């Protein structure tokens, strides 16, 4: 039976009230007279086979996954404000390919309903001042959405909410500054273990000497508090990034320092040199404009993205924390305006802080599709993922194949809660 939950409804109520005050009230007259309204239905239906669904080192089980994801986007744009609200219902059904081993539960016990709601809103009360609010709420069993450098294999159901107000000011003389506050709440359904709240402040000072060059001085301060036990910590991270954009290619290089101190005096503070170096190629090219805070242009007819980076993972108890070195690749081309082909993957090395454990993990896949029209796409993807650890009980390998039929499915409006988030955010 499909299982669902309604506890987090108060987040949506509180969010809608806040949006009304910040955005709709000051811009209501202009919205009535000159609003552009967009309503777009979307849907995705897919089937997938995993050869090691539970990512076990020695007890592999082949499982089919069937997913139905209907949704809708609603957008309103005026001269001073823009609001995009999207909602997707994600129904997942599982079926064992073979008999269930004795003592284990059948895969269809994991059937569930997921919910994804994303709000992205901005309001410009003055020519150089922009106020924004983003909120992303997700119910899922995919732990890859919990942490950027994820290394877990659990299938525990949880909800996560990321609320991010933004203030951005564009000064004269090519300078601009932004401040964001991001609150992240994570809550697992079956246990309080792992439930936590993160409060993060982010300051960006940007300098654009030309339209195609950006210097970004970034400072982030955040605390992580657990509901039950766990080693809470405070992180400070300072970094400088340079981005240079050419007609078809852009290059980014950033380096910084990350210090993490724990509330438990018996745990030694940790620090690392964090970096990120990337190259992006796109044809047709993106607009040659100064960089906006957090803005990315992706998925042209042809694209290539290559990135190397290093930092700590974010969530998890102390013995689950590690430094991660990651290499990411995505490249693709649309042939004959109808046939999209893509190769993507990552390779990640994780060195644990609390004990002698090192994991190498990769996921590589290739896909080919057919566009019946710009809104309707059929695609098939095959891939392989593997984790190799110096502790044998953490090893696994899994091969997968899935078929997807998408209508109007817009990955860029899902608040980072997709596989795309690992490649572009």
SS3 of residue 204 by DSSP: strand
Q: Which domain holds residue 327?
A: 9-424
Residue-wise pLDDT tens digits, 194-204: 788 999 999 99
Q: Provide the whole-model pTM.
A: 0.84
The reply to whether 275 falls in a domain is yes
Span 332-337, mean pLDDT?
A: 92
Determine the pLDDT at residue 300.
72
Determine the pLDDT at residue 298.
56
Span 375-402, mean pLDDT?
A: 95
Residue-wise pLDDT tens digits, 208-227: 998 889 999 999 999 999 88
The reply to whether 4 falls in a domain is no
Q: Could you give the number of structural domains in the chain? A: 1
Determine the pLDDT at residue 24.
46
The reply to whether 352 falls in a domain is yes
CATH, residue 285? 2.40.160
Rounded percentage of the chain residues whose pLDDT exceeds 90: 61
Calculate ∠ Cα 228-231-234, nearest 5°: 120
Determine the pLDDT at residue 425.
42
The reply to whether 133 falls in a domain is yes
The reply to whether 2 falls in a domain is no
Rounded percentage of the chain residues whose pLDDT exceeds 70: 85
For residue 166, pLDDT over 60 is answered with yes
pLDDT category at 185 given cuts 50, 70, 90 is very high
Residues 6+ apart with CB under 8 A from 12: 117, 137
The overall average pLDDT reported for the chain is 86
Residues 6+ apart with CB under 8 A from 237: 218, 219, 220, 221, 256, 257, 258, 259, 274
Which residue, among 311, 418, 420, has the nearest Cα to 69 in the 3D structure? 418
Residue 98 token pair: 């073979």
The reply to whether 3 falls in a domain is no
Q: How far apart are CA 127 and CA 129, in angstroms?
A: 6
Burial track 114-149 (b if 16+ CB lie within 10 A, e otherwise): bbbbbbbbbbbeeeeebbbbbbbbbbbebbbbbbbb
SS (H, E, C) 358-384: EEEEEEEEEEEEEEEECCEEEEEEEEE
pLDDT category at 339 given cuts 50, 70, 90 is very high
The reply to whether 38 falls in a domain is yes
Residues 6+ apart with CB under 8 A from 275: 253, 254, 255, 256, 308, 309, 310
Determine the pLDDT at residue 297.
53
The reply to whether 39 falls in a domain is yes
pLDDT category at 412 given cuts 50, 70, 90 is low
């Amino acid at each position: 039976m499909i299982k669902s939950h309604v506890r987090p409804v108060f987040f949506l109520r509180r969010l809608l009230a806040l949006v009304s005050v910040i955005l709709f009230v000051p811009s209501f007259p202009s919205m009535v007279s000159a609003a552009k309204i967009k309503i777009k239905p979307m849907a995705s239906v897919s089937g997938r086979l995993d050869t090691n669904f539970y990512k076990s080192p020695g007890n592999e089980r082949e499982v089919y996954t069937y997913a139905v994801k209907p949704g809708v986007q609603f957008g309103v744009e005026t001269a001073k404000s823009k609001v995009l609200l999207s909602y997707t219902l994600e129904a997942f059904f599982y079926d064992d390919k073979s008999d269930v081993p004795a003592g284990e539960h059948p895969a269809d016990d994991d059937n569930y309903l997921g919910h994804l709601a994303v709000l992205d809103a901005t309001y410009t009360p003055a020519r150089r001042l922009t106020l924004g609010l983003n909120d992303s709420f997700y119910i899922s069993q995919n732990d890859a959405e919990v942490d950027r450098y994820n290394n877990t294999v659990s299938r525990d159901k949880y909800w996560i909410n990321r609320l991010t107000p933004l203030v951005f000011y564009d000064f004269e003389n090519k300078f601009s500054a932004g401040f964001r506050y991001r609150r992240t709440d994570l809550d697992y359904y079956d246990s309080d273990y792992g439930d936590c709240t993160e409060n993060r402040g982010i300051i960006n000072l940007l300098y654009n000497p030309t339209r195609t060059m950006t210097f970004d001085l970034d400072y982030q301060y955040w605390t992580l508090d657990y509901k039950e036990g766990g080693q809470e910590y405070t992180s400070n991270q300072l970094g400088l990034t340079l981005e240079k954009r050419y007609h078809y290619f852009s290059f980014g290089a950033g380096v910084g320092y990350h210090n993490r101190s724990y509330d438990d005096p018996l745990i030694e503070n940790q620090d690392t040199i964090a970096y990120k170096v990337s190259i992006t190629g796109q044809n047709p090219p993106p607009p040659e404009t100064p960089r906006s805070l957090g803005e990315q242009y992706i998925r042209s007819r042809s694209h290539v993205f290559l990135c190397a980076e290093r930092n700590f993972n974010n969530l998890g108890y102390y013995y689950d924390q590690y430094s991660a070195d990651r290499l990411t690749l995505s490249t693709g081309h649309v042939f004959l305006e109808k046939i999209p082909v893509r190769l993507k993957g990552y390779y990640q090395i994780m060195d644990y802080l609390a004990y002698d454990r090192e994991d190498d993990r990769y996921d590589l896949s290739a896909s080919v599709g057919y566009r019946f029209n710009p809104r309707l796409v059929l695609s098939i993807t095959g891939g392989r993922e593997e984790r190799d650890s110096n502790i044998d009980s953490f090893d696994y390998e899994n091969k997968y194949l899935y078929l997807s039929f998408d209508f109007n499915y817009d990955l860029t409006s899902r608040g980072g809660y997709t596989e795309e988030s690992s490649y572009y955010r």
